[in-house]
Amino acid sequence: ALFDNLSEKLGGILDRLTGRGSLSEADVDAAMREVRRALLEADVSLDVVRSFTERVREQAVGATVVKSVTPGQMVVKIVHDELIATLGSDGQTIDLNAVPPVAIMMVGLQGSGKTTTTAKLARRLTQRDKRKVLMASLDVYRPAAMEQLAVLGRDLDIQTLPIVEGQKPAQIARRALEAGKLGGYDVVLLDTAGRTTLDEEMMSEAAEIKSTANPHEVLLVADSLTGQDAVNLARAFDERVGLTGIVLTRVDGDGRGGAALSMRAVTGKPIKLIGTGEKTDALEDFHPNRIAGRILGMGDVVSLVEKAAANIDAEKAARVAEKMRKGQFDLSDMRDQLLQMANMGGISGLMGMMPGIAKMKNQIANAGIDDKIIKRQVAVIDSMTRQERKHPDVLKASRKKRIASGAGVKVEDVNKLLKMHRNMADMMKAMGSGKRGPMAGIAQA
Ligand code: GDP
C-alpha cells in the first residue's frame, strides 16, 4: 500500500538512534536521508522533499527527547506532524455557501475518474446532505461520456441535464444553471471534458466554462497513481483556471502515493475529498492525520510521544500554577493558557488536564470561551505592550480603544477579557492560599 517503504526504512534507521537528552545533528541527518529516499521513491517531487526534510531537520536538531521515548520515536513524531502540516488542515469540505444553485465545476484529465467522482459527489450531496442536485456533462467530444453520466444519474435517482446536440460546453453550462434555477436545485455539478494530456485547448475551454458558470468550487480530479504528472496538471490548472480544491482518486490503489503530498505543497490548494473505489459510495473526506499515519505506519509511536509530550505540558502548567499561587498570573500567562486550551481541544480538554481548576469551569463557561473566542482573546493580548500585559490595570480608555482596533474587536471585548483575567487571578490567589496549589495534582498526573 501507500508508502510502505517509508515506515520500513524509517523503522530500521530509527532503532539505531540511541542518543539521549536531545537529538544530535548526526542522528537527524541519518534519519533525514531515509526520509528523503523514501519520499522520492513514493514519487514526491524533489522540491517538496527538499523543503520537507529541511523543515523537519530544523525542528529535530537539538529537540529535547522527552522522557520515556527514544530519539527515533521523537523523530517519527516530528516527521508525522510535519506530514500533517504539509498535507493541510483537517475538515476541508465542499463549500456550498452561496446563492443556489451553487455551481461546482469538475476538471481533470480523461480517465482520472472525473465522471465517477461527479456521481459520487452528487450522491453524497443528495443522500447525506439532503440537497437537490443536477448533474450536467459538458463533454461534447465523447457522447459516451454524456451517456455514462446519464446512466449513473438514473442508477442514483439523480437528475442529469437533458442532452442537446450541437451545443458548446459553455452553452451547456449556461443551460444547466438556468435549469438549476428554474428547477429549484441547490447544486449544479458540471462535469467538463477531459483530454488524455494536458493541452491548451482543454485549458482555454475550462477557463471559458468557468467565466460563464462562475462556479463556487472548481475541483481538480486527479489520479493519485499518476504521481508527478498529477502534480504538474494541478499546477497548470490552478494557474490557468484557478482551483478551489483537489479530489484525489484511486487512493485505494497500490500507488506510490506521493501525489497527495506534492499536490498540496505545490498548489497550496486543499485536498477536499478522496476516491477509494469504483462504486459511487467510495468517496471520503480527506484527513491529513490518517494519511500521515498511513505514510508512517507508526500510529502507536505517535501517540506514545504525544502522551509523553503531554506530561511536559503538565510540567509547564505546574510552573504556571506556581505563578498563580503567588498572585503573579499576568496576561502573558493567560495567553499561554488560552493557547493551550485551544491546543487541547478547548475547555473540556483543559479541565481534564488541570484537576484543581475544575472549580473555575462555570466561571470560564460564563465568560463564553470557545475556540473562536480564544483566538480573538489572544489577538487582544497580542496587541498590548509587554508592560501592559504585566500590569493591565494601567490601561487607559484610549489605549483600550487602540488595542481593540489593533485586534479587530470592540472595546467591550477588551474589557471583558480584562475582567476575566482579574477574576481568574483573584480566584487563583484565593485557591492558592490553601495548602495545595490550585493545580498541585498536575505534576503527578
Ligand atoms: P473520467 O474519464 O475522468 O470521467 O473517468 P471515469 O469516471 O470514467 O473513471 C475511469 C475509471 O476509473 C472507471 O473505471 C472508474 O470506475 C474508475 N475509478 C474512478 N474513481 C476511482 C477510485 O477512486 N478508485 C478506483 N479503484 N477506481 C476509480
Kindly report the protein residue whose alpha carbon is nearest to atom 25 of ligand 1: 277
Kindly report the protein residue whose alpha carbon is nearest to atom 19 of ligand 1: 113
Judgement on whether residues 274 and 195 belong to the same structural domain of the protein:
yes
Question: Is 60 exceeded by the pLDDT of residue 220?
Answer: yes
CA 199 to centroid of ligand 1, rounded, Å: 21
Q: What is the DSSP secondary-structure string of 367-436?
A: TT--HHHHHHHHHHHHTS-HHHHH-GGG--HHHHHHHHHHHTS-HHHHHHHHHHHHHHHHHHHHHHTSSS
CA 278 to centroid of ligand 1, rounded, Å: 6
- For the domain that residue 31 is a member of, what is the CATH number? 1.20.120.140
Judgement on whether residues 272 and 190 belong to the same structural domain of the protein:
yes
167 falls in which pLDDT band (50, 70, 90)? very high
CA 113 to centroid of ligand 1, rounded, Å: 4
Range of the domain at 20: 4-87
Asked if residue 93 is part of any domain, the answer here is no
Judgement on whether residues 20 and 56 belong to the same structural domain of the protein:
yes
Choice from 116, 190, 191, 281 to test ligand 1 binding pocket (greatest atom count within 8 A of CB): 116
Judgement on whether residues 40 and 64 belong to the same structural domain of the protein:
yes
CA 124 to centroid of ligand 1, rounded, Å: 17
Judgement on whether residues 258 and 167 belong to the same structural domain of the protein:
yes
**115 in a known ligand binding site:** yes
Judgement on whether residues 208 and 283 belong to the same structural domain of the protein:
yes
Judgement on whether residues 161 and 277 belong to the same structural domain of the protein:
yes
Asked if residue 293 is part of any domain, the answer here is no
Asked if residue 94 is part of any domain, the answer here is no
**Ligand 1 atom nearest to 139, measured from its CA:** 4
- What is the model's pTM? 0.66
Asked if residue 92 is part of any domain, the answer here is no
Return all residues near 288 (Cβ < 8 A) that are at least 6 apart: 83, 84, 87, 88, 89, 90
Around ligand 1, the residues with Cβ closer than 6 Å are 108, 110-116, 194, 249-250, 252-253, 275-278, 282
Closest by alpha carbon to 339, among 309, 384, 302, 371? 371
CB 36 within 8 A of CB 49: yes
**72 in a known ligand binding site:** no
Sheet with 217-223, strands from edge to edge, namely: 159-160, 133-137, 187-191, 102-107, 217-223, 245-249, 271-275, 283-285
Q: What is the mean pLDDT of residues 320-334?
A: 77
Judgement on whether residues 282 and 327 belong to the same structural domain of the protein:
no
Asked if residue 312 is part of any domain, the answer here is yes
Judgement on whether residues 245 and 123 belong to the same structural domain of the protein:
yes
Judgement on whether residues 113 and 262 belong to the same structural domain of the protein:
yes
Residue with cell 475538515: 91
Q: Which of 241, 258, 287 is the last residue of a domain?
A: 287
Q: What is the pLDDT of residues 372-405, one digit of tens each?
A: 778 888 899 999 998 899 888 889 999 999 999 9
- For the domain that residue 363 is a member of, what is the CATH number? 1.10.260.30
Asked if residue 42 is part of any domain, the answer here is yes
Asked if residue 95 is part of any domain, the answer here is no
**262 in a known ligand binding site:** no
Judgement on whether residues 62 and 122 belong to the same structural domain of the protein:
no
Pairing of strands 283-285, 133-137: unpaired
**What ipTM was predicted for this assembly?**
0.98
Q: What is the pLDDT of residues 232-262, one digit of tens each?
A: 888 888 999 999 999 989 887 665 557 777 8
Judgement on whether residues 258 and 309 belong to the same structural domain of the protein:
no
Q: Which of 20, 55, 87 is the last residue of a domain?
A: 87
Choice from 278, 279, 281, 283 to test ligand 1 binding pocket (greatest atom count within 8 A of CB): 278
Q: Which of 87, 115, 140 is the last residue of a domain?
A: 87
Asked if residue 351 is part of any domain, the answer here is yes
CA 111 to centroid of ligand 1, rounded, Å: 6
CA 353 to centroid of ligand 1, rounded, Å: 47
Number of domains in the chain: 3
CB 79 within 8 A of CB 292: no
